[in-house]
Amino acid sequence: MIHDRYIGRSVITASLLALVILIAVFSFFSLVDQLDDTGHANYGVFQAIEYVLLTIPRLSYELFPIATVIGCMAALGILANNNELLIFRTSGLSKMQLAYSLIKTSIVFILISILIGEFVAPISEQAAQKKRSIALTEQITMQSKHGFWSRDGDSYINIRKILPNEKLEEIYIYEFDKNRQLRTTIRAESAEYKNDKWLLQNILKTEISKDKVIKQTYDNAEWEALLNPEVIDLVTIKPRYLSLYDLVNYIQHLKSNNQDSRIYIQALWVKVLNPLMIIIMMLLSICFVKCDAKPVGLGQRVFIGVLIGITFHLVNQITRHLGIVYNIPIFISVALPTILVFIYINYSLSKEY
């Protein structure tokens, strides 16, 4: 249909422009925030800029729903001010047909969002976090399905479980000599960070020499290591940085190790519902643009779009946090704002302008 292409082209142009502006604004504030860390270890201005640039794909993925509602508000507002929307309506275009036109257009955004969120953002974001952590701590660290790994001089550290409040479980320390021969292994059941030191509990220490192997056990011991909680936090895998495939695998890994996976399951539902959020945000603009009302300035339309998008985003964040804190069923805590907005849109579309 001609009106589908015309409306779609206007919405796509306005939404992409809104996305670019939002990315520029958020990236600027992110750079300002990162500049506070410059001067620490090897983290300089160049590293801060590199970090911000690498986080742009993740940022664009998160801002897509907000950009679409701003773009739709602006595009439909311009059409309404030029009486083009009124012409479409008088020629027989119903509100439901207009909604279908926006849904068709949303397919373009959904495909772009999936491409960025599943294939580009996870790689670039993890690269950004890794480069930043190495520059800030001067330590080589990484997170894998086998736990957290770090190098401390001639020692290699593997931590299988990272718990809240600076607690660790299943710690393995491998110490090598100058000839790269394994000389000592240490296994600790748990560890806590107190008074700027790690305290290991239930320790099994194995010393390896050419002639014999000596095993010793200790109830607890101090662990002198460069590793600190901030380093672990820098490279711990954050749910929103993972693709759907990685989330599913990581959730299975956490469950198999009897670890809490609720935050990751929540992130999985967020990714699954993200295409629906984009559609909802686009349809919501129909409820606020009247084709036969007085012309409204573009700035006002954009402001309303920004207000709607940010409000929806904040409500989503609040319900997700409440879901984790109060153990609300994960699907409800993630989907409730979207469901309520969908009910409102359905009610609004059932009425005439």
pLDDT tens-place string over residues 311-348:
999 999 999 999 988 989 999 999 999 999 999 999 88
Q: Has residue 231 been placed in a domain? A: no
The answer to whether residues 113 and 209 belong to one domain is no
The answer to whether residues 219 and 281 belong to one domain is no
The answer to whether residues 126 and 251 belong to one domain is yes
Residue 271 pLDDT grade (very low, low, confident, very high; cuts 50, 70, 90): very high
Q: Has residue 61 been placed in a domain? A: yes
Residue 348 is encoded by which pair of tokens?
A: 């609004």
The answer to whether residues 17 and 128 belong to one domain is yes
The answer to whether residues 183 and 302 belong to one domain is no
Q: Which residue has the tokens 């509990």?
A: 201
Domain boundary among 191, 225, 259: 225
Q: Which residue has the tokens 């506070």?
A: 36
The answer to whether residues 39 and 125 belong to one domain is yes
The answer to whether residues 168 and 206 belong to one domain is yes
Work out whether the CA dihedral 22, 27, 32, 37 comes out positive or negative. positive
Q: Has residue 65 been placed in a domain? A: yes
Q: Has residue 148 been placed in a domain? A: no
Q: Indicate if the pLDDT at residue 144 is higher than 80.
A: no
- Whether the CB-CB separation of 218 and 203 falls below 8 Å is answered with yes
Amino acid (one-letter) located at 1: M
Q: Has residue 131 been placed in a domain? A: yes
Q: Indicate if the pLDDT at residue 142 is higher than 90.
A: no
The answer to whether residues 218 and 246 belong to one domain is no
Q: Which of 215, 164, 160 is nearest to 189 (CA)?
A: 160
Q: Has residue 130 been placed in a domain? A: yes
Quote the domain boundaries for residue 249: 2-138+236-349
Residue 60 pLDDT grade (very low, low, confident, very high; cuts 50, 70, 90): very high
The answer to whether residues 132 and 33 belong to one domain is yes
Greater model confidence, 284 or 232: 284
Q: Indicate if the pLDDT at residue 293 is higher than 60.
A: no
- Whether the CB-CB separation of 88 and 3 falls below 8 Å is answered with yes
**What CATH number is given to the structural domain containing 159?**
2.60.450.10
Q: Has residue 339 been placed in a domain? A: yes
Number of domains the chain contains = 2
| pTM of the predicted structure, to 2 decimals | 0.82
The answer to whether residues 13 and 89 belong to one domain is yes
The answer to whether residues 242 and 123 belong to one domain is yes
Question: At a CB cut-off of 8 Å and minimum separation 6, what does 141 contact?
Answer: 130, 133, 134, 148, 149, 150, 151, 231, 232, 234, 235
